[in-house]
Structure 1
């Protein structure tokens, strides 16, 4: 929590420092135009990415698959667009990194590996790991479907 608070306090100062350095190198108005162009690109990415993610998710649902990968790609695009919306050069660079396909795949693989490790650790601390075995015998559970009505006297 302290690291997040420290980052929250330092990030605007770093953005301002980088803006002053860039504006002293290329001029104030070109630097300001770059910031505005980055925000406009962020708005465009947010609009297009949301629509494209919804279409890809719908296609994978029609194929009978879970759209986990498509949703993650859409999340990364939304984060990238959001970072582009924030005025500043550091956030723009981070947003552009989120938009690149190979960085999205790299982050997806890292998160998948981390989730698998987490699942393995949780399985290691189960009471009886052999208790929940899948049913291969083809037996159906005893389920009686119906409706009921409660009548109190």
Structure 2
């Protein structure tokens, strides 16, 4: 799946760049790409710093910053996609960097992670139940030995 994505994605980006360049011209297209790269690196710094500060506050309170870590990954992905030349990657990058869409993506991602974890726990419990040795029937009682 990822191989197909990496094979098709550059061609889609290139086709869109050619189409946009044909409509608005080469120079405005290049300026848009440069502006999106500068915007991406700026948003990456600002959003990344804000996420790091929230993670540090959680650590100071003794809590695990799992949500902030995932948010930081989305910010890094969004900034990287904005820095890459292309309009499709810019749209996806902006979705990862804007706070309200990032929270939506994060909610779905956390729900999917929880669902996967529950599936793995159920599978592990089922596997453990199958591999558990059968316990022999044990009848408890007392006995007395009488020799004749």
Give the TM-score taking structure 2 as reference length: 0.77
Aligned to 1:110, the other structure's residue is in SS state helix
Structure 1 stretch displaced more, 27-36 or 110-119: 110-119
* Aligned partners of 2:44 and 2:97 also within 8 Å: no
Which structure's residues are more often helix, by fraction?
2
Unaligned regions of 5+ residues in structure 2, if any?
A: 130-148
2:44 and 2:103 map into 1 onto residues whose CA distance is: 19
Structure 1 stretch displaced more, 46-55 or 68-77: 46-55
Number of aligned residue pairs: give it. Answer: 126
2:61 and 2:25 map into 1 onto residues whose CA distance is: 53
CA 1:64 to 1:92, structure 2 compared with 1: closer, same or farther past 3 Å?
same
- Counterpart for residue 82 of structure 1: 80
- Counterpart for residue 32 of structure 1: 30
* Aligned partners of 1:19 and 1:88 also within 8 Å: yes
Give the TM-score taking structure 1 as reference length: 0.75
Cα distance per residue 1:13-55 (max 9 Å; x no partner): 1111111111111111001100011111121122223322221
- Counterpart for residue 52 of structure 2: 54
- Counterpart for residue 140 of structure 1: none
CA RMSD of aligned residues (A): 1.5
1:72 aligns with 2:70: yes
Q: How far apart are residue 119 of structure 1 and its match?
A: 2.3
Moved >4 Å (runs of 4+): none
Q: How far apart are residue 100 of structure 1 and its match?
A: 2.1
2:121 and 2:40 map into 1 onto residues whose CA distance is: 41
* Aligned partners of 1:45 and 1:78 also within 8 Å: no
Aligned to 1:52, the other structure's residue is in SS state helix
2:109 and 2:99 map into 1 onto residues whose CA distance is: 15
